[in-house]
Amino acid sequence: MRAPCQVLIFPFIREEGKYYYAIFKRKDLNIWQGIAGGGERNETPTETMRREAYEEASIDRKSPYIRLASVTTIPAVNICGLKWGKEIIMIPEFAFGIEVLSRKIEINNEHTQYLWLNCEDAIDKLKYDSNKSALWELDYRLKNGVLNGIRKNIQTIKNFL
C-alpha cells in the first residue's frame, strides 16, 4: 500500500577534497532529478529513502546518509491521484543525501542514465526547484561541516508550523 509521503535522494561522493552528486534522467518525463519515490505501508521517511536508493540505484541500505531540512509538498494527484481521499491533496517530500564509495551505480528501468556533477552543474540540469534547493543544502552542509544543526533546523520549521 502506497503511503502519502515522498522522498528525494541525492547520492554523493567525495574525491580529492571535492563533492560530486549523482542526478538521474527519468525515462517517462525525460528530465533530470534526484532519486525520488514514495513510502510504502508504515515506512518512516528514512526507511523509504533506504529502500528507494537501493531499488533505483543499487545503493547499499547501510550507507551513511544525511536527512536534510529541505521539505516540500507535492500535489497528490501528480503522484497517484486522490488515492488517500479528497482531503489529502498535498503530500510531503523529505530530502536526503546518501554517501556512496564508488561512482558506479546500477540504475533500474525508471532512468535512462545518470551523471556525476559538481553542485553548480547539477543544479543547472535539475528540473524542479525543490531538487535544486535540496541539493544546494546538501552541498552547503557537506562543504561547511554543518551537519549537527539539522535536527534543530527541522524542529524550528515544525515549531513555526
- Provide the pLDDT for residue 160: 56
Which CATH number fits the domain 2-160, given the four candidates 3.40.462.10, 1.20.1090.10, 3.90.79.10, 3.30.830.10?
3.90.79.10
Supply the pLDDT for residue 159: 63
Domain spans, the chain: 2-160
Per-10-residue mean pLDDT of the chain, 161 residues long, equals 92 97 96 96 95 97 95 89 85 96 95 97 97 98 84 59 53
pLDDT score of 8: 98
C-alpha cell at 63: 550507507
DSSP class of residue 6 equals E
pLDDT the model gives residue 152: 60
Cα distance between residue 63 and residue 58, in whole Å: 11
